[in-house]
Amino acid sequence: MTTATVEDGPLRPGALLRVEDVVVEFPAPGGRVVHAVSGVSFDVLEGETLGLVGESGSGKTSIGRAVMQLPPPRSGRVLLDGVDLTTLGRRQVRAVRPRLQMVFQDPLSSLNPRRSVRGVVGEPMRVWNRSRPDIDARVDELLSAVGLDPAAVGDRRPSQFSGGQCQRISIARALVLEPQVLVCDEAVSSLDVSVRAQILNLLLDLRERYRPTMLFIAHDLSVVRHISDRVAVMYLGKLCEIGPAASVFGGPAHPYTAALLESVPVPDPSVRPSDEEVLDGEPPSPVDPPSGCRFRTRCPRAQPRCAEEEPIMRAVAPEQFVACHFPLTAGAPRP
Amino acid sequence: MTAQSAPVLEMHELRTWFATPEGPLRAVDGVSLGVEPGRCLGVVGESGSGKTVLLRSIVGLLPRRAIASTGGTVCFEGLELAGAPPAVIRDVRGRRIGMVFQDPMTSLNPVMRVGTQLTDGMRHHLGVGRQEARRRARALLEAVGIPDPERRLRDYPHQLSGGMRQRVTIAIALACDPSLLLADEPTTALDVTVQSQILRLLGRLRRQRNMAVILVTHDMGVVAGSTDDLAVMYAGKVVEQGPTATVFSATRHPYTRALLEAIPRADARPGERLATIPGQPPSLVDPPSGCRFAPRCPRAADRCRAEEPPLAGADGHRFACWFPLGDPEPPAAAT
Ligand SMILES: Nc1ncnc2c1ncn2[C@@H]1O[C@H](COP(=O)(O)OP(=O)(O)OP(=O)(O)O)[C@@H](O)[C@H]1O
Ligand SMILES: Nc1ncnc2c1ncn2[C@@H]1O[C@H](COP(=O)(O)OP(=O)(O)OP(=O)(O)O)[C@@H](O)[C@H]1O
Ligand code: SF4
Ligand SMILES: [Mg+2]
Ligand SMILES: [Mg+2]
């Protein structure tokens, strides 16, 4: 494997999960194309948590699904431990599936309402023909790990539980096969603050205990900051910035990251937001994305060059990469 | 604090109970609150605490058949709304009280052009002519930051993005120049950058028009940045209420503190466990005796389980707690 160079952008050797130049497209009416993800690369080291943030429609879920091969991306590579999943046949993908699991946003609709909790959590193991006592022991272990009493809840149905409890059940189910990679897509977004705090604590506990490699997708920046080692920021199908959580949140280099951070309401009444707009307008359509830098139509720093030339990912600080011609860092060219 | 004018709206012991097979469900159970011109009152609380039912009770927008009993008074600009004839309430609603709800699609008519929806209210309530209504509609769309208003007037709601739809519902709510705006989670469905635009817009319009606003949200960040006063609801009751800055900095109710501590703070160590509230919100059909928060409260003592604490305090800061924070701990919890 090659060592990281500027051309490689943010990719590091030896990562457990490596996403290379992934493209996801959907058909749009009139024979047009939704450019949901347009050439995105990142990686996640073993045991690391990468937070993925960005506006609605920026392609976060599409990337998560591409990693899971649900469906495989239109082009690009997804390497798990060096094996490119996109080249595997259906049977081979099925064989690696247990190593990748996804937790979805809406806990209730992702659980089979006719099955008991025990059945729901144990199902992935049954598919893999594990023995009954093995399944029972593992299901008990995981229900306890997510804070549910197996004896009390095992025989009840998901519809009898609250949103937070259902999210615990789907996390238990995702972990039952000891996946190497866990993709959490807005796993806490629909929950109340107090329940959200419980689930976040649970994820932090499970991370210490099982060290899964996590791709944590969320639009709530305070949550992402709290749980991630590294953070990747997306805008309209492109990666704008990636780096250690402390660097990206502490010193955002991409104008979009900066605007995003400034838009987050601070839970402190002494910090009053100014009357000035952080960012004008709304994201353009992914059917017809702007030329050059996709953020340029809303960017306060945009220059003619931004429309002509697409910015490539480059390092602005150790481990911190940004795709912008005029990033917000000391010593960088000013527009 | 500045001298305050007479409240636009004053509720006293407002009560809305729903009929359910198990018995009456006390969704709103004796709420007394007021809001003055030009000020924004925030209402927060967990899911199911009664925030939406409270707003809908003010304007009589609840399914009649579902209601078991109601009580209390709602005085709006000297007019008693509770128990007023439907025609009176209908006239107030949409003219002197504007409303914005979470999902703009539910408040917009999908088969009616934006322009018609904007001008209907003006023509009906204010009796202005077609041309004049059209002119005002254009001005309103401009005021809420919609570019090319002439074209947008001819659009149907589905042709607009989520952020634009919410701007349109705000424009409709403002069409008759109301003195009170009721906003139920107006930005929950939107991206943070668009949320920050809409909140700033609401703040500007409120100041320009000296309009009172009641803003329901569950986001403590939104509350901190956008409200002057705050009411915290728990299980159908207001448990703490006062100037937002005071409620944040001199929190007296244990539930308010729990809500504030459950959000990840920017200065928290990454991976630090968040404070959670044990247990679950109580049944509203058979609520706990005494203080409704007692079963989950770290400070609860015998008195809390026996007697209901009144909402009391000084200088506009009131709380319903026998052993408020800042006072010595109760004997039972101190051991
Ligand atoms: N099945 C589909 N068919 C057509 N377009 C799709 C489909 N799924 C997603 N898209 C489009 O692809 C783009 C990216 O969507 P995606 O769901 O990945 O965004 P996201 O970042 O997860 O957004 P959100 O925060 O709203 O979940 C959007 O424009 C979306 O409308
Ligand atoms: N039509 C109805 N019939 C019976 N119960 C109802 C009805 N509408 C609401 N409720 C109940 O009233 C209580 C308060 O609901 P409400 O919608 O006001 O909560 P909320 O604080 O707005 O919650 P959220 O944050 O989830 O919007 C809930 O227990 C709810 O189930
Ligand atoms: S490349 Fe240009 S338009 Fe894009 S973010 Fe940087 S300055 Fe803004
Ligand atoms: Mg998504
Ligand atoms: Mg509500």
The answer on pLDDT for B284 being more than 80 is yes
Tokens 């990636």 sit on residue:
A242
**How far apart are the two ends of chain A, measured CA to CA in Å?**
38
Q: ω before A71 within 30° of 0 (cis)?
A: yes
Under a CB-based contact definition with an 8 Å cutoff, are residues A269 and B224 in contact? yes
Compute the C-alpha angle A60/A64/A69, nearest 5°. Answer: 140
A107, part of any domain: no
- Is residue B32 within 8 A of residue B208, CB to CB? The reply is no
> What number is the average pLDDT over the span B284-302?
95
CB of A296 shorter than 6 A to ligand 3? yes
Q: Summarize the confidence of residues A128-135 as an average pLDDT.
A: 84
B273 touches A: beta carbon within 8 Å:
yes
Q: Minimal Cα distance from B263: which residue of A?
A: A193
Residue A48, in any domain of the structure: yes
Q: State mean pLDDT over B271-300.
A: 91
B201 touches chain A (CB under 8 A): no
Contact A268 B161 (CB under 8 A): no
Residue B141 has pLDDT above 80, yes or no: yes
In whole angstroms, what is the distance from residue A176 CA to residue A134 CA?
11
Q: What residues sit around ligand 4, an ion, with C-beta below 5 angstroms? A: A 60-61
Predicted confidence at residue A191, as pLDDT, reads: 77
Q: Can you state the angle between helices B130-143 and B162-174, rounded to 10 degrees?
A: 130
- Output the pLDDT for position A45: 96
Crossing angle (nearest 10°) for helices A163-175 and A117-127: 20
CA–centroid distance, residue B148 to ligand 2 (Å): 39
Does residue A215 fall inside a structural domain? Answer: yes
| Ligand 1, pocket residues at CB < 6 Å | A 26, 34, 36, 54, 56-62, 219, 286
User: In degrees to the nearest 10, what's the CA dihedral of A183, A59, A199, B101?
Assistant: -160
A82: phi > 0 → left, psi -120 to 50 → alpha, else beta; which? left
Beta partners for A51?
A: A216, A231
How many structural domains does chain A have?
Answer: 1
Task: Provide the pLDDT confidence category of residue A112 given band limits of 50, 70 and 90.
Answer: confident
Choose among B5, B29, B3: nearest CA to B16. Answer: B29
Is pLDDT at B332 greater than 80 in this prediction?
A: no
What pTM was estimated for this model as a whole? 0.88
- Alpha-carbon gap, residue B47 to B281, rounded angstroms: 9
What's the DSSP call for residue B175? T
From the CA of B54, how far away is ligand 2's center (Å)?
Answer: 9
On chain B, the residues whose CB falls within 8 A of the CB of A56 are: 162, 191
User: Is the per-residue pLDDT at A5 higher than 60?
Assistant: no
CA-based nearest residue to B264, from A242, A48, A224: A224
CA of B189: how far to CAs of A62, B74, B161, B224, B302, in Å?
Answer: 19, 29, 12, 19, 42
Q: Please report the ipTM that was assigned to this predicted complex.
A: 0.81
Longest Cα pair distance anywhere in chain B, in angstroms? 73
Rounded Cα gap, residues B280 and A329, in angstroms: 47
Place of tokens 């605007």: A259
Predicted pLDDT of residue A8: 54
Distance CA B17, CA B28 (A): 7
Give per-residue pLDDT as tens, A17-26: 999 999 999 9
Closest CA to A220 of B166, B220, B277, B226: B220
Q: For ligand 2, atom 6, name the residue with the nearest CA.
A: B18
Q: Which residues of A touch B226 (CB under 8 A)?
A: 265, 273
Contact in structure between A104 and A110 (CB atoms under 8 Å): yes
The more confidently predicted of residues B4 and A207 is A207
Tell if the CB–CB gap between B191 and A55 is shorter than 8 Å. yes
A36 occurs within a structural domain: yes
Q: Position B6: which residue type?
A: A
Nearest by CB to A272, from B161, B220, B225: name it.
B225
Name the residue range of residue A325's domain. Answer: 1-81+180-192+211-335
B248 close contact with A: CB closer than 8 A = yes
| B contacts of A58 (beta carbons < 8 Å) | none
Summarised one tens digit per residue, pLDDT across range B66-79 is 898 999 999 999 99
Task: Tell me the sheet residues that pair with A33.
Answer: A27
Residue B245, pLDDT > 60, answer yes
User: For residue B5, how far is its CA from the centre of ligand 4 (angstroms)?
Assistant: 46
Q: From the CB of A321, is ligand 3 less than 6 Å away?
A: no
The whole-number pLDDT of residue A6 equals 40
Handedness of CA B224, B226, B230, B232 (dihedral sign): negative
When the pLDDT of each residue in chain B is averaged and rounded to a whole number, the result is 90
Q: Name the residue facing B262 among A193, A228, A277 (closest C-beta).
A: A193
Q: Does residue B279 sit at the A interface (CB-CB below 8 Å)?
A: no
Q: Is residue A120 part of a domain?
A: no
Decide: A295 in ligand 3 pocket, CB within 6 A.
yes
CB pair distance less than 8 Å for A226 and B270: yes
- Cβ A225 under 6 angstroms from ligand 3: no
Give tens-digit pLDDT for A262-292.
988 888 888 877 777 778 777 888 999 999 9
In a domain, A102, yes or no: no
For residue A144, tell me if it sits in a domain. Answer: no
Closest by Cα among B104, B16, B109 to B61: B16
CA contacts within 13 A on the Cβ side of A110:
22
Chain B residues whose CB is inside 8 A of the A254 CB are: none
CATH number, residue A26? 3.40.50.300
Please indicate, yes or no, if residue A259 is contained in any of the structural domains.
Answer: yes
> Which chain A residues are Cβ-neighbours of B50 within 8 angstroms?
none
Distance from the Cα of A14 to chain B's closest Cα (Å) equals 25
List phi, psi (to 5°) of A102.
Answer: -130, 140
Interface of B with A in 136-155 (CB under 8 A): none
User: Is residue B38 within 8 Å of B206, Cβ to Cβ?
Assistant: yes
Q: What strands, in cross-sheet order, belong to the sheet with B67-76?
A: B23-35, B9-20, B67-76, B79-80
Mean pLDDT of the region A190-208? 84
pLDDT digit string (tens) for A71-110? 899 999 999 999 999 999 989 988 898 899 999 877 777 7
Dist. CA A109 → ligand 2 center (Å): 21
HEC assignment per residue over chain A:
CCCCCCCCCCCCCCCCEEEEEEEEEEEEHHHEEEEEEEEEEEEECCCCEEEEEECCCCCHHHHHHHHHCCCCCCEEEEEECCEEHHHCCHHHHHHHHHHEEEECCCCCCCCCCCCCHHHHHHHHHHHCCCCHHHHHHHHHHHHHHCCCCHHHHCCCCHHHCCHHHHHHHHHHHHHCCCCCEEEEECCCCCCCHHHHHHHHHHHHHHHHHHCCEEEEECCCHHHHHHHCCEEEEEECCEEEEEEEHHHHHHCCCCHHHHHHHHHCCCCCCCCCCCCCCCCCCCCCCCCCCCCCCCCCCCCCCCCHHHHHCCCCCEEEECCEEECCCCCCCCCCCCC
Confidence of residue A157 (pLDDT cuts 50, 70, 90): confident
Length of chain B: 335
Across residues B195-210, what is the average pLDDT? Answer: 89
**Is residue A1's pLDDT more than 70?**
no
Give me ligand 4 centre to Cα A221, in Å.
Answer: 14
CB B99 within 8 A of CB B93: yes
Please answer yes or no on whether A265 and B191 come within 8 Å at the CB atom: no
Flag whether residue B179 sits within 8 Å of chain A, measured between CB atoms.
no
Give B-chain residues touching A282 at CB under 8 angstroms.
161, 163-164, 194
Does any ligand 3 atom lie closer than 6 A to the CB of residue A306? Answer: yes
Extended beta strands in chain B, E state: 9-20, 23-35, 40-44, 67-76, 79-80, 97-100, 180-184, 212-216, 229-234, 237-243, 312-314, 317-319
Cα dihedral A205→A211→A212→A214 (10° resolution) = 70
pLDDT, greater one: B244 or B327 = B244
Sequence-separated (6 or more) residues with CB below 8 Å from residue B7:
B34, B35, B36, B212
Mean pLDDT of A224-253: 95
Of the candidates B193, B218, B249, the beta carbon closest to that of A193 is on: B218
Residue numbers in A near B192 (CB within 8 A): 55, 219, 221, 260, 263-265
Q: Residues for chain A: how many in total?
A: 335
